[in-house]
Amino acid sequence: MRRALLLSLMIFFLSLSAVSALTVYSYDSLEPLAEESFGKFTEQTGIDVEFRAVGDSGSLLSLIISEREKFDGDVVIGIDNLLSRRAFEEDIFLSYRPMGFERIISNDLLLDEEWRLTPYDFGSIALICNGSQIEESISTLWDLTKPEFERSVIIQDPRTSSTGLSFLAWTYLLFGERFEEFWRALTPSILTVSLSWDDAFQKFESGEAPIMVSYATDGAYSKHYYGESIYSTVIPEGKGYVQVEGAGIIKWTDNLEEAKLFMDFILSEDFQSHIPLNQWMFPVIEVEMPPAFDYAVKPQKILKLSADVDLSKLIETWEEVIYER
């Protein structure tokens, strides 16, 4: 009896030691959210999480596609509704519908009928402006092409940044056939094309330019950290493009059951409640929102990009305009 008990205990502890640490990849700016919330998952499951950041979402997706089976991640966080198109074409995520999926506040946030990606946050693209540096008001995006805005705008590269790609889609939805014309007119107003949102925001906060492509929740950020909305948030004409970000399980994971538990965790209140003050986006389930989010701007009309629109052609046109090939 004693030997059987000892054997059972050995098997139990060996099974615990065999649980691998889960490797979760995302973009750089998700690190504060990871530090604040992932410990709760480990506390609940006993599974350690190793977090790795790779620039912005576009760069991360390119890395996964280039490495495929050699990619050592189990779960990826941060593939949005535009980047998901390429991710699905490359077949890099497994289908899994997490526990708690019925709590998602709107079916409009769903990224995939097969649940290869699960939404975890959303927010509208917007311009943020430092009013102390500019006097001219912005009624439409076309206003940015005026001479007084020369070298005044920081944008993100749509080839590496999900924010930049969302902005590109937004301009297409607003201008359609005049898309290329708009970008040619905007070029003199662009100070720099940053690889990521983080890099762009550092330049903006240091005063390098008074206008930046960002998110409509930036007013909440300012109120929370500075006690006032020091930057104005503009969604020209109230017509906004909403970015939805998702997470998924890598097809080649060796830790499938652990990855499924982590996906369940992503839709839990323990994770979702940390999104507002870390991601400065809206969570996808109902949680108590910080008072600062009363200062987040919401679009009057949400624009959606048709699946028929070829993003690669939009990017190609953008490259030709920006770099004058």
DSSP 290-303: PGGGGG----SEEE
What confidence score (pLDDT) does residue 226 get?
86
> Which pair of structure tokens corresponds to residue 271?
């994770």
Token pair 């701007």 is found at 297
Using alpha carbons only, how large is the chain's radius of gyration in Å?
A: 21
Burial of 97 per CB tally in 10 Å (0-12, 13-18, 19+) = middle
Per-residue pLDDT of the chain (325 residues; tens, 9 = 90+): 444 443 344 334 434 444 568 999 999 989 999 999 999 999 999 999 999 998 888 889 999 999 999 999 999 999 999 899 999 999 999 999 999 999 999 998 999 999 999 999 999 999 999 877 887 789 999 999 999 999 999 999 999 888 999 999 999 999 999 999 999 999 999 999 999 898 999 999 999 999 999 999 988 988 999 888 788 899 988 999 999 999 999 999 999 999 999 999 999 999 999 999 999 999 999 999 999 999 998 888 888 888 889 999 999 999 999 987 4
3-state helix, strand, coil in the chain (%, to 5): 50, 20, 30
What confidence score (pLDDT) does residue 19 get?
55
Q: Measured between alpha carbons, how far is 84 from 219 in angstroms, rounded to an integer?
A: 28
Report the Cα 4 to chain-centroid distance in Å: 52
- Please report the beta strands in 195-315, taking only residues with DSSP state E, as ranges in sequence order: 211-215, 232-234, 239-250, 282-283, 301-303
Q: Measured between alpha carbons, how far is 238 from 297 in angstroms, rounded to an integer?
A: 10
